[in-house]
Amino acid sequence: MLKKKIAKLTGMKESEIPGSYQIIGDILLMKMKIKSAAKKKKVAEAVIKILPYVKTVCEIKEIKGELREPSVSVLVGSNTVTTHKENDILYKIDVSKIMFSKGNLLERKRLLSQIKEGETIIDMFAGIGYFSLPIAKLTKAKEIIAIEKNPTAYNLLTDNIQLNKINNIIAIQGDCKIAARTFGGKADHVLMGYFPGTEEFLAAAIWMAKPGCIIHYHNIYRESELWSKPLDQIGEVCKAFSRSYEIITKKKVKSYSPRTLHTVIDFKVI
């Protein structure tokens, strides 16, 4: 266990050392309980000795703002740009500017099984290509329209399209509410992988949905709100568009904070 090895190497108490961490490419990210800069560096140097394939160790403090930008400081090393491989897909990422959730791997795999040959997919919050890249490379989708507002993420998305030698992703830099006006009734699947506050974009998703389209709606809800609140939100927007709908799947993806969950609802728009 990494925590015990760090404690042994540094002489620090186990209670001072982070119990969880994330490795993206050759960069390790961890949340620190300790305040001392000297102790933080001591932990980071121990990580490098124990895990020689890690070249940079960073402290991640919080995710903030509409564009979900991380607050990250480098403890050991210098390069915050790396290439991460997951499910045979390469992702170039700058961990100081863009978040990457390895915890959503199962959700990405689940989505792949639903994509049929010749379909058009619209990814409303494409990021660096978390969903768009594997769909393009591992399914027979006709095209993926990947929309991303954050210019840093958009530039990484276009780099990743080239890196993976993909030719069926149309990358668009801009607000998905505005971009949606161009794609009325075009989508077989709409991906809504942004949260919290995803309900604000439901109208744009339904506008882009052709009859039979499946919308994959991710959001954050308190346990006490499930499943009445999200279903009411979906029903209200569908009613405004005079569209009927059918719930396919309701799923708790993972814990987001105490008594608050990241959820996904797949629903078909008729």
- Give pLDDT, residue 33: 85
The structure tokens 């090895």 sit at 5
Question: Is there a domain that residue 192 lies in?
Answer: yes
Q: What is the mean pLDDT of the chain?
A: 94
Q: In this model, does residue 67 exceed pLDDT 70?
A: no
Domain, as residue range, for 148: 102-269
Whether residue 169 contacts residue 131, with contact meaning beta carbons closer than 8 Å, is answered with: no
Q: In this model, does residue 116 exceed pLDDT 60?
A: yes
Residue 145 phi, psi (nearest 5): -95, 110
CA distance 189 to 119: 8
Q: In this model, does residue 83 exceed pLDDT 90?
A: yes
For residues 178 and 52, membership in a common domain is answered with no
Report the pLDDT averaged over residues 166-176.
97
How do beta strands 143-148 and 169-173 pair? parallel
The residues, any chain, with a CB within 8 Å of residue 71's CB and separated by 6 or more, are 60, 61, 62, 63, 64
Whether residue 189 contacts residue 119, with contact meaning beta carbons closer than 8 Å, is answered with: yes
CA dihedral 132, 136, 142, 146 (to 10 degrees): 20
Whether residue 216 contacts residue 253, with contact meaning beta carbons closer than 8 Å, is answered with: no
For residues 39 and 108, membership in a common domain is answered with no
Confidence of residue 180 (pLDDT cuts 50, 70, 90): very high
In percent, the amount of the chain with pLDDT more than 70 equals: 97
For residues 75 and 112, membership in a common domain is answered with no
Question: Is there a domain that residue 71 lies in?
Answer: yes
Question: Is there a domain that residue 84 lies in?
Answer: no
Report the pLDDT averaged over residues 177-183.
97
Q: Which range among 45-54, 95-104, 157-166, 185-194 shows the weakest confidence by mean pLDDT?
A: 95-104
Other Cβ atoms within 10 Å of 207 Cβ, number: 19
Report the pLDDT averaged over residues 52-59.
96
For residues 16 and 118, membership in a common domain is answered with no
For residues 58 and 184, membership in a common domain is answered with no
Q: In this model, does residue 156 exceed pLDDT 80?
A: yes
Give the residue among 109, 111, 107, 84 at the shortest CA–CA distance from 95.
84
Residue 230 phi, psi (nearest 5): -65, -35
Q: In this model, does residue 69 exceed pLDDT 80?
A: no
Whether residue 80 contacts residue 74, with contact meaning beta carbons closer than 8 Å, is answered with: yes
Question: Is there a domain that residue 88 lies in?
Answer: no
CA distance 23 to 102: 9
Which residue type occupies 27? I
What CATH number has the domain bearing residue 33? 3.30.300.110
- Give pLDDT, residue 45: 97
- Give pLDDT, residue 65: 63
CA distance 46 to 107: 33
Report the pLDDT averaged over residues 187-212.
96
For residues 73 and 111, membership in a common domain is answered with no
In the chain, how long is the greatest CA-to-CA distance?
65
CA distance 71 to 16: 21
Confidence of residue 19 (pLDDT cuts 50, 70, 90): confident
- Give pLDDT, residue 112: 94
CA distance 60 to 42: 16
Whether residue 233 contacts residue 202, with contact meaning beta carbons closer than 8 Å, is answered with: yes
What CATH number has the domain bearing residue 127? 3.40.50.150
For residues 74 and 154, membership in a common domain is answered with no
Give the number of domains in the chain: 2
For residues 142 and 253, membership in a common domain is answered with yes
For residues 109 and 223, membership in a common domain is answered with yes
- Give pLDDT, residue 103: 57
- Give pLDDT, residue 49: 97
Question: Is there a domain that residue 97 lies in?
Answer: no
Helix (H) or strand (E) holding 215: strand 209-222
Confidence of residue 186 (pLDDT cuts 50, 70, 90): very high
Whether residue 161 contacts residue 129, with contact meaning beta carbons closer than 8 Å, is answered with: yes
Question: Is there a domain that residue 90 lies in?
Answer: no
Q: In this model, does residue 171 exceed pLDDT 60?
A: yes
- Give pLDDT, residue 270: 96
| 205-245 confidence digits (pLDDT tens) | 999 999 999 999 999 999 999 999 999 999 999 999 999 99
For residues 180 and 236, membership in a common domain is answered with yes
The region, left, alpha or beta by phi > 0 then psi within -120 to 50, assigned to residue 229 is alpha
Q: Which range among 130-134, 143-147, 193-197 shows the weakest confidence by mean pLDDT?
A: 193-197
For residues 9 and 72, membership in a common domain is answered with yes
For residues 233 and 132, membership in a common domain is answered with yes
Question: Is there a domain that residue 91 lies in?
Answer: no
